[in-house]
Chains A and B, each alone.
Chain A
Amino acid sequence: MSEVSRRKMLAALAVAPLAAGVVTQASSLKNLVGLQFPSPEKTEDASREKTRKKYFPNFELTTHEGKRVKFYDDLIKDKIVVINFMYAECKGICMPITANLKAVQKLLGNRVGRDIFMYSITLKPEVDTPEKLKHYVHMHHLKPGWTFLTGKPEEIEILRRKMGLYTSNTALDKDLTNHIGMVRYGNEARQWWAMFPGKANAPWIVESILWMDDKDAKDPHEGHDASKTRSKGVRTGSNKGGEK
C-alpha cells in the first residue's frame, strides 16, 4: 500500500464517528519503541493469572442438576479437566463422542469427580435447559463427575472461542451439526493444556488425560512396545470435501 492511499484511507476512516474515536484512542498511545517492560514474572501465579484471563472467563453457568457455578473458580481452578461442546439433540458427531467419553469415564473409574472432572457445555443454551441436560445424562447413563453445563448464549459463545473449539470458516462454523469434535484437556495448576480428538480410541484418550497428573508426568513412561493387534479402530466416516 502506498503512502498516499494509506493517508486516504485514514481520512476515509476518520469520517465515521466510531472510527474517529478509534483514531483518537490510537493517537493517545505513547511511543512504544524502547518501552521498558517489567522484569519476567517471578512467581507461578503471574503466568497462571495471565492464562486465566486469556482463556477462562469466570462466567456463571448452570449444571444439569440446576446448580449455579463459576466457570473458572468452580470448574477449572486447581483441577485436571476435560472439556467439550455438544447439544442434547445433536444427531451427528455428539453421539459417537458422548459414547466414547462415556468409555473414557468408565476407564478412569472413580477418579472422575475426585481429581479429574469432565465437562460438556451445550452449544444450544437457549434450548438446553438444565432439565433437558439432566435428561440427557440419564438417557446415556452417565456417572457423577461428568457435568453438563448451560448458560447465557453470548457467554457460551465466548467460552467456545476461548477454548479454540470453533472453525475459522465462518459459514461452516454456524453449522452446528458440523461442530468441532476436539476435546480440551489440561491441568490448570500446572498450566498444561492440549486437545485430543473426541473420537480417538478411548484407552489412548485415558493415557493422555493421565499425563495431566503430576505423578504420571514424572514417572518414566512404560512405553508402547505392546503393539496391539491392528483393529480398524474408529472409522470416522469423514465428511470429505474440505472442512476448513
Chain B
Amino acid sequence: MANISKRNRRREKEIANAAKNRREIIKAQLSRRDLMKAGLLTSAGYLIHKSGLSARAQFSGDCDRRWSSGWGGWGGGNGTPVSPPTTPFLEPMPIPPVAQPVAALTPVPTINPNTAGGEGRTRPHQAFAQFAPQKLYEVHQREQLISMHPQLPLQKLWTFNGTAPGQTYVARYGEPILVRNFNDLPTNNGGFGLQSVSTHLHNGHTPSESDGFPCDFFGQGKFYDHHYPNVLAGINSSHPGTGDIKESMSTLWYHDHRVDFTAQNVYKGLAGFYLLFNNFDTGNETTGFRLPTYPDFDIPMMFNDKNFDPDDGLLAFDLANRDGILGDKFLVNGKIQPFFNVKRRRYRFRWLNGGPSRFYRFYLTKSNLQNHPFWIIANDGNLLPNPIQTTTGAFIAVAERYDVIVDFSSFAPGSIIHIENRLEQCDGAGPGNTILPAGQGNKLLEFRVVSDAVNDQSVNPATNPSFYAMPTRIAERITRCFEFDRDNGQWVINDELFDCNDVRFKVKRNTAEIWKLDGGFNWSHPIHIHFEEHHVLKRNGNTPALVERGRKDVIRLGEGDEVEIYFRFRDFVGRYPMHCHNTIHEDHAMMLRFDIDDVGNNNEDDCGHH
C-alpha cells in the first residue's frame, strides 16, 4: 500500500509539473519551431510525452498516435486543465440516500399543466387517470456545498434535494409515482450551467410529457410534475392490463436534459438513480430471482470523470470543448477515488457511466494484478436472459449501465481489489483499441474486504439462473436508416441538423420498426433512443456479442460501425429524441426529434442509398 500511494503521489506531482511546464512554455511565447528544435513538439503539433511534459497522456497510457491537446492552457477546446493532486482512497464511497415520499403536494397535482400555479409543463398527463400516483415526491433542484475530496475545497454543486448524485428512487412496477421537481437553482451559476432544466428519466416507459424531453425545460422558480406510471411495455396494447414481463427494467437513472446545456448541468451534479423492482427482481435475496438484497448488498455506482481548476481546486468545465471532455479525476457516487468495504459474499453493483464523454473498460484488479472475474447480469438496466461471466472486462459508454455480480467470498479479510479502467482514451473523439496492462489504468474504486460474519442467500450466477427471456418480435412496419456524420464541425444525422420543433419522422404507436444506425468516421458515439428498449440484431453484419443480446437503450457506434436494432413502440404518444450521449456532442446538437402517434409516416430517409 505504501508503495502504491507513493507512486501515485509521484505521478500526481508529474501531472502538476506538466501543467506548470506548459504554462511556462506559453508564457515564454515559444514558437512551434523552438519547441520542435528542442525536441518537445512533434510535427503533428502536440507536446512530446516526456516525463513532466504531458503527464496526462502518460497517466493514461501512450496517446502519441492521437492528436491530443498540445494547445496550451485551457479554455481552448482540447486544452483541458490538469487537476490538483489528490490522495486516492481516503474516504468511503457515498451511497445516495433513498428518496422519501411526501404525504401531499401543494398545490395538488393536476392532469392539465397548472400554469397559473407555477408549473412549467405544457402538455396534459396522458396516463394520469389510468395510473393514478400512489406516491408523491417533492424535489428541489438547488445548489449545495459538497466535498468531492478532502484535499479539494467544497464545491457548489447543483443537486436534487441537496445530494449529488441525487437521491435514489426505489420504485416498484404497478406502483405509479409522481415527482414534482422544483427549479430552485441559484442565480449565479459559478461559471457554467443554465438555470433551466428538463429532468429525464432514462429510460422509463414514460409518457412523453413526463420523459424530460430536452425542450420541455422549465426556469427558475417553476416546478414540473413528472408522472412515472412504472408499467411494463405492452400494458395498453399487446399485453393489456399487465404489460410484458419480459420488458422489465431494473436500473434506470435520471438526469438533466436541458437542450444545449445538458453536459454542463449534469457535470454540475444533476443526476441520480431510479431502481425498479417487481416480484422477480425483488430486492430480497430470499425471493424471486434471489439477487443480492437491496440496499445492503445491492449498490448503485455512478462513475464520472471530471477536471478541477489547478489554481483554486474548483470543479472546472471547459466551455469551448466540442469533442468531448475527458476528466483526469475519477469519481464514484460523487467522490474522487473512494474506497468501499465489502463482506466476503456476493454483491450486486449497478454500474453507470455518468459521463460526460469517456468510454471505460472496467476490470477488477487484485493486488497481485490478476483479474477477478465477475458476472454481468443486466445491460442498460435490463436483466439479460442469463448471467455472463466476463474475463475481458466491461466496456461501458456514457449512459450505459451494467448490473454485475461480484463474489468476494474467496478473499481473505484485508484483501484489496480495485475497479480499474484499462481502456486508453486520449481525446473526446473516442477510445483507441489499446487495453492497458493491469495496474496501469485508472483505479476508480478500492474494495476492502472486511472480516465481518457472512450470510449470503443470493443466487450463485455460476448455476446459470434464468431471468427474463427476450420479448417476442413481431414483423416490423418499416426500416429506417440513420447516418451520423459531421459537416464543418456540425453534427448531422442524414445530413440534417437538430431543431426541437422539427419532427424528423413519425412512428406509429404499437408497431415495430428496424433502425439501421451508421456511425461516421473517426468518432465514437453512444447513441441513446428514448422511451423503448431495443434488440441489437446485427453489428457490422454479424450477430452481436452475447452481452449485447439483451434489451438496450444505448447503442455504441464505434468508428464506422453499422448496427441494426429492433424496437416496438407501445402504449404512449408524443415527442422523444434520439441523440449522442457523449453529452458534449449532444449539446452541440447531435440529436433529432421523432414523434409517436397513431398514424406514423414512411420517412425512411436515406435507407438503401448508402
Contact = CB atoms under 8 A, between A and B. Distances in A.
Interface of A: 1, 6, 9-10, 12-13, 16-19, 21-23, 25-26, 29, 31-35, 37-41, 44, 47-48, 50-51, 53-55, 92-93, 161-170, 178-182, 190-201, 203-204, 207-208, 211, 217-228, 230, 232-244
A230 B503 contact: yes
B313 interface: yes
25 contacts: A16-B40, A25-B20, A44-B188, A54-B74, A161-B76, A162-B320, A164-B322, A168-B323, A168-B429, A170-B44, A178-B488, A181-B489, A194-B260, A197-B588, A211-B196, A220-B120, A220-B219, A221-B216, A224-B215, A224-B501, A237-B495, A238-B495, A239-B487, A242-B521, A243-B486
Contacts of B417: none
B495 A236 contact: yes
B460 interface: no
Given A170-B45, A208-B260, A180 B20 contact: no
B456 interface: no
Nearest to A180: B489
B488 to A, nearest CB: 4
A18 B37 CA distance: 10
Contact of A9 (B51, B261, B495, B595): B51
Given A55-B319, A221-B215, A230-B503, A164 B497 contact: no
A34 B488 CA distance: 44
Nearest to B29: A154
Nearest to B258: A211
B490 A199 contact: yes
Contact of A200 (B21, B188, B499): B499
Contact of A168 (B24, B78, B502): B78
Contacts of B362: none
B598 interface: no
Contact of B153 (A10, A26, A37, A195): A37
B411 interface: no
B217 interface: yes
A234 B261 CA distance: 23
Contacts, number: 287
Contacts of B192: 191, 193
By DSSP majority rule, is chain A's interface helix, strand, loop, or mixed? loop
B4 interface: no
Contacts of A220: 115, 119-120, 122, 218-219, 222
Nearest to A39: B153
A22 B503 contact: no
A230 B492 CA distance: 17
By DSSP majority rule, is chain B's interface helix, strand, loop, or mixed? loop
Interface string B519-555: 0111100000000000000000000000000000000
Interface in B316-343: 318-323
B3 to A, nearest CB: 12
A10 B191 contact: no
Contacts of B400: none
Given A9-B51, A194-B194, A221-B217, 17 more contacts: A16-B39, A32-B85, A37-B313, A38-B312, A47-B190, A161-B77, A168-B427, A181-B489, A197-B497, A200-B490, A218-B219, A221-B215, A222-B122, A230-B504, A230-B601, A234-B496, A243-B521
Interface residues of B, number: 107
B410 to A, nearest CB: 31
Given A37-B152, A236-B497, A29 B50 contact: no
Contacts of B151: 33-35
Given A54-B75, A238-B487, A199 B497 contact: yes
Contact of B589 (A6, A48, A196): A196
A38 B153 contact: yes
A192 B50 contact: no
Contacts of B314: 37, 40-41
B490 A9 contact: no
A179 B490 CA distance: 10
Contacts of A180: 488-489
Contacts of A9: 50-51
B502 A228 contact: yes
A214 B601 CA distance: 39
Interface string B189-230: 111101110000000000000000001111111100000000
Interface of B: 9, 12-13, 16-17, 20-21, 24-25, 30, 34-35, 38-40, 44-45, 50-53, 58, 62, 67, 71, 73-79, 84-85, 87, 115, 119-120, 122-123, 145, 151-156, 188-192, 194-196, 215-222, 260-261, 309, 312-314, 318-323, 427, 429, 485-492, 495-505, 520-523, 575, 587-589, 595, 601, 603
B77 A22 contact: no
Given A26-B17, A35-B151, A40-B145, A243 B120 contact: no
Contact of B497 (A6, A165, A225, A233): A233
Contacts of A32: 12-13, 16, 84-85
A197 B189 contact: no
Contacts of A211: 194, 196, 260
Q: Which of A41, A50, A196, A223 has the most CB of B within 10 A?
A: A223
A43 B40 CA distance: 40
A228 B503 CA distance: 7
Contacts of B488: 92-93, 178-181, 198, 239, 243
B52 A23 contact: yes
Contacts of B191: 47-48, 50-51, 191
Contacts of A237: 487, 495
Given A33-B87, A182-B490, A193-B192, A235 B217 contact: no
Nearest to B25: A22
Contacts of A244: 429, 521-523
Contacts of A33: 9, 12-13, 85, 87, 151
Contacts of A167: 489
B489 to A, nearest CB: 4
A218 B52 contact: no
Contacts of B123: 223, 225
A110 B62 CA distance: 54
